[in-house]
Amino acid sequence: MHRITRRDIPQQVITVLEGLRKAGYQAYLVGGCIRDLLTGKTPKDFDVSTNATPEQVRRVFSNSRIIGRRFKICHVVFGRDIIEVTTFRSNQEPKHDSFKHQTSDTGMLVRDNIYGRSIEEDADRRDFTINSIYYDLKTGQLIDYHAGIYDLRRGVIDIIGDPQKRYLEDPVRMIRALRFAAKLGFKISERTAKPIRSMAVLLRQVSNARMFEEVNKLFLTGHGLESYHILRSYGIFEILFPGLGEFLDNPVFNSFVEYALQSSDERFAGQKRNMPHFLYAVILWSKFQSELFRMRDLNESVVDAASLRELADLACPAVLRAQNAVTAIPFGIAESIRSMWSLQLQFLDIDDPEEVASIASRQLFRGGFDIFRLRARFEPYLQPYVDFWQPYYDESASRAHVRAAKNQEREERRSERRALKEQQRAEAPKSRDLASEEFADDTDAERQDRLARARAWRASMHLEP
């Protein structure tokens, strides 16, 4: 017995499920969407599992695309909405098909495109029991091969299969276990938790692009503070942020990061978006500041000493390079981090009115000031500068609010126009259908006669036949 109904599922998802079934394939909802629905949460994404291969899914839906190399999947696109469709996986390890199945020397899966034939096989390949519950739209039934519903009720994160083997295949599963524990408030089963501390070093083998996405999920989606605590307890935080281990015993560092993450969680709860550049600028600030002071001390013995801002331009790339080795920070985000760190120094210069006006008009002024204001809670000498800049911040926020309201109005008008056009297209008579009705009773001879007269007219008008 459960409370999931069709009303809980977006129409685009139903379109994909029914489209695959009509094409002769099996199709189920699975994973986080079912877990969230069963725990009373609103799913962010809906994932479909099917026995159709990505190529077959592509043929069923013209609005789809195949992505991925390590795991090939299909995205069915409905405007801004994307429905992820995955093919059943198999637990078999082929001996002579390295193109579809590859592992590294340590046993990590580099490529896994061996498809399963049944939902049972696919369930064995899922990571945790609570993510292996399937929903059959046609029958309304839940299908659970690994007691996922039982673990949901107990509030337990339990991995499917042998933990060490599963972590060797994909070390990110360790982070996922901790993230689900932080997000759901669940306990991690003893057998699932036991290998994590000793195997956490394997995370360094994961691509930095993938790790960037995983860190965003940990800290930007409403449970950043709890993620920070649980990552520290398992010794993984310093792996994700190299060079910060020396700060973890500093109470000021911890208080600063904890307060910032708590604020971000509150923003998310208020349906405001958290940004990666703000996250990294906060967490890495102490490391940047330490590097800047180190350069300043060395710089004092130089005859032609560089300014503090010039030193900041040298310290920033050094810090981000070290971080980029673990999490691939996109160039635009890195530039935003650099700008916000630079603003921390510029906020101390309040004597030149023209410079003040220039700083207050910058794109990242409010983001930089948010960090500055956070710092002032733990660095009291900054408070007079916070008081100085606060009116500029309030004015900038007010202008941004007005712009957002205007953009919202424009978007609503666009949506109304699109809806009206779609309605007009739906109600408009189709000329092809009218023509078919008009000539429906013509014999073949009459149709041929009509075609002949049309060709003669085109020839007389010197048009192409």
Please identify every residue annotated as catalytic. Answer: 45, 47, 127
Query: Which class for 78: exposed (0-12), middle (13-18), buried (19 or more C-beta within 10 A)?
Result: middle
Strand 187-188 and strand 156-157: pairing? parallel
Q: Which helix (H) or strand (E) holds 135?
A: strand 133-136
CB within 8 Å of 294: residues ≥ 6 apart? none
SS3 label, residue 268: helix
CB within 8 Å of 403: residues ≥ 6 apart? none
Q: Is the dihedral of CA 4, 6, 11, 17 positive or negative?
A: positive
CA separation for the pair 296, 276 (Å, rounded):
28
**CB-based burial, 274-309: b 16+ in 10 Å, e otherwise:** bebbbbbbbbbbbbbbebbeebbeebeeeeeeeeee
Residue labelled with tokens 């008579």: 429
CA separation for the pair 436, 106 (Å, rounded):
66
- Residue 137: both structure tokens together: 């739209």
Show the CA angle centred on residue 283, arms to residues 177 and 242, nearest 5°: 70
Residue labelled with tokens 């099996």: 26
DSSP state string for 398-442:
HHHHHHHHHHHHHHHHHHHHHHHHHHHHHHSPPHHHHHHHHTTT-
CA separation for the pair 441, 427 (Å, rounded):
26
Could you give phi then psi for residue 302, rounded to 5 degrees? -90, 140
Q: Quick check: 112 and 129 in contact, CB under 8 A?
A: no
